[in-house]
Chain A
Amino acid sequence: MPVQGIRTVTAARNGVGAFILQCKRLDFHYCDWAGSSRGMVSFLKNQLTAFAKENPQIEIRVSPRPHKHPVIKGHFINGREKAVCVRNLEPEQIFQKANLLKQNSGEKNKRTKKPVTSINESVRGIWSPYHGGLKGV
């Protein structure tokens, strides 16, 4: 057997070919009675249809959550979920929160130190101590 192949799996590069939106579901919870849901109820009545039409990739669920503050929960493709409490917010502010969840990757927030992160091999190559630029002692 001169050479054997090693089986691997290709790595995804979201956005290089197709782009898959990472937010797959948004749950809107509201309360009919409580005053903190006033903005949320208005958002659900007036703006949610347009928001859903703009983002057909996202499954949208609306359900009451009596005697609790209104919440938007985002479910992401990596299996995590993020919840944002929107009590006492105006419909425009709730729209911004829904957009925040829509554009989120679902990962935990982390600090990026490098300007570029890539799985591609470096074009310049890795410096080798044995080739060129040798310093005489």
Chain B
Amino acid sequence: MKRLQLQRWSSSALSSRARTGGRLQRHLYSGTRLQSTNSYSLQDQSLGQQLAPPSATSDVPKFTKRQLPSPPAEAARESAKLAALHARLYLPSRLPLETLARCLVDASADPSAQFNNQSLAVLGNDLLSNYASEHLICTYPRLPLTVIFAAMYAYVGPKTLLAMSREWGVEHAAAPGGEVDPGLLQYKRLDPGAKPDAEPLVGTTRPNEDQTTWRRSITSSVVYDNEFGDPERAASPPAELSDEPFLMNDKGPAPVTPEAASATFARAVMGAIYLHAGRPAAKRFFEQHFLSRQLDISKMFNFQQPARDLTRLCARENYDEPVAKIISETGRRSRTPVFVVGIFSGVDKLGEGTGASLSEARARASVAALKGWYLYSPLEVRVPSAMEEDGAAPWKPVYVDLGEVIV
């Protein structure tokens, strides 16, 4: 199978300096802000024949470090924190320190799309939700959609990404700036006491969003909402990348929470690995850092009326009507009675539960029966992205159930 040339495709996500353009184009770009995710060596060679090689004295004095919103690219090689973070995460050596430094610059610190991690985070978020959702759906083909959304949130949600970036040892800068160590996560902090989501979200992808009393079905959130079932702000068309340098001024972008900034960073690392080291490395990174975390899906169910759901499920699957029977009991007239109730469909016992009253025991038995159905997992799980490996066996369609019962 032919190797895809990711570097060539991803030129829009990387900065203008990373593009392989003509000599003239490079010459035009060379006067702009000296921050970039790629090194200067290539450019210096080509330009050196015509011009004097851009030295620190010829280009830099236009702006001092303090005027820049985020650290310049050449600072990345001198940061001990950044090199330690690179080694701690076992990032591939093809991922340069400059890109890792760019992953640490949030859009609230540097609004320029060429120097912040926004584009990398968009790519990383898509990869994360793709890998997480295919893992969930193939491993648990009968999970209800609400539980899939909750499990997605548990695997790649912002709270998990915040915890992960803490466990990676990423420290946060007090305030962003060009003079800050590039190994620190840089974002504009909220003022103390400010509420991060005080205003309701407007401009979402959902139609009739102003009608708050309308029912929002779970199926519609598959279409309109994000991977966690939450309403999402509609993507604005990308602004024209200008080569005008952005300098610090009074009004800047909106501040963000540490949770949002850390989540963007973790996603950007994923996107950067994909761009620089390719798809297998990105998938390995996902499996080692995200999928290896522990999640007990059986504790993520919240049933309102389990007995009714079980009846509807048996009707849908053409099983016999479920019947609750007492298997054993003790101390019915005492202060602490215990009933053991089983739910039977025909001769098959679907579930069993204990409780201090008959109705409690029946509800627990129904929950056990429903979890037994929903948490079915096939023995050999193969996800669609396994087909991207070299020499993969032909694809056999995986079993995916209808989902939860509709009541």
Q: By the criterion of a CB under 8 Å from any partner CB, how many residues of chain A are at the interface?
A: 34
Complex Cα spacing A56 to B83, Å:
7
B90 touches A18 (CB 8 A): yes
A13 touches B167 (CB 8 A): no
- The B127-158 residues at the A interface (CB cut-off 8 A) are 144, 146-151, 153-155, 157
Question: In this assembly, does B26 line the interface, its C-beta being within 8 Å of a C-beta of chain A?
Answer: no
B304 touches A1 (CB 8 A): yes
Partner-binding segment picked from A4-12, A31-39, A64-72: A4-12
B168 touches A20 (CB 8 A): yes
- Please name all residues of chain B whose beta carbon is closer than 8 Å to the beta carbon of A8 when the two chains form the complex: 150, 154, 295, 299-300
Question: In this assembly, does B203 line the interface, its C-beta being within 8 Å of a C-beta of chain A?
Answer: no
> Distance in Å from the Cβ of B97 to the closest Cβ of chain A?
12
A2 touches B155 (CB 8 A): no
Question: In this assembly, does A123 line the interface, its C-beta being within 8 Å of a C-beta of chain B?
Answer: no
A12 touches B302 (CB 8 A): no
Closest to A23 in B: B169
Closest to A4 in B: B302
A17 touches B291 (CB 8 A): yes
B301 touches A3 (CB 8 A): yes
Question: In this assembly, does B88 line the interface, its C-beta being within 8 Å of a C-beta of chain A?
Answer: yes
Q: Beta-carbon contacts of B40-51 to A below 8 Å, as 1s and 0s?
A: 000000000000
Question: In this assembly, does A44 line the interface, its C-beta being within 8 Å of a C-beta of chain B?
Answer: no
Question: In this assembly, does B78 line the interface, its C-beta being within 8 Å of a C-beta of chain A?
Answer: no
Partner-binding segment picked from B5-13, B236-244, B247-255, B399-407: B399-407
Residue in B146, B160, B168, B290 whose CB lies within 8 Å of A9: B160
B88 touches A21 (CB 8 A): yes
Q: Beta-carbon contacts of B311-329 to A below 8 Å, as 1s and 0s?
A: 0100000000000000010
Residue in B155, B169, B295, B302 whose CB lies within 8 Å of A24: B169
Complex Cα spacing A4 to B183, Å:
41
Complex Cα spacing A133 to B90, Å:
52
- Please name all residues of chain B whose beta carbon is closer than 8 Å to the beta carbon of A5 when the two chains form the complex: 144, 146-151, 300-302
Complex Cα spacing A7 to B157, Å:
10
- Please name all residues of chain A whose beta carbon is closer than 8 Å to the beta carbon of B287 when the two chains form the complex: 17
Question: In this assembly, does B386 line the interface, its C-beta being within 8 Å of a C-beta of chain A?
Answer: no
Question: What are 8 A-B residue pairs whose CB atoms fall within 8 Å in the complex?
Answer: A1-B146, A3-B301, A5-B144, A8-B154, A8-B300, A11-B294, A17-B287, A57-B87
By a beta-carbon cutoff of 8 Å, the part of chain B in contact with chain A is 80-81, 83-84, 86-90, 144, 146-151, 153-155, 157, 159-160, 163-164, 166-169, 183, 287-296, 299-305, 309, 312, 328, 338, 340, 354, 370, 374, 404-407
Complex A-B, nearest 6 residue pairs according to Cβ-Cβ distance, in ascending order: A17-B292, A5-B150, A56-B87, A17-B288, A10-B293, A18-B288
Q: A5-B146, A130-B340 are in contact. List 8 more A-B contacts (CB 8 A).
A: A1-B304, A3-B303, A6-B302, A9-B154, A18-B90, A59-B183, A61-B80, A128-B354
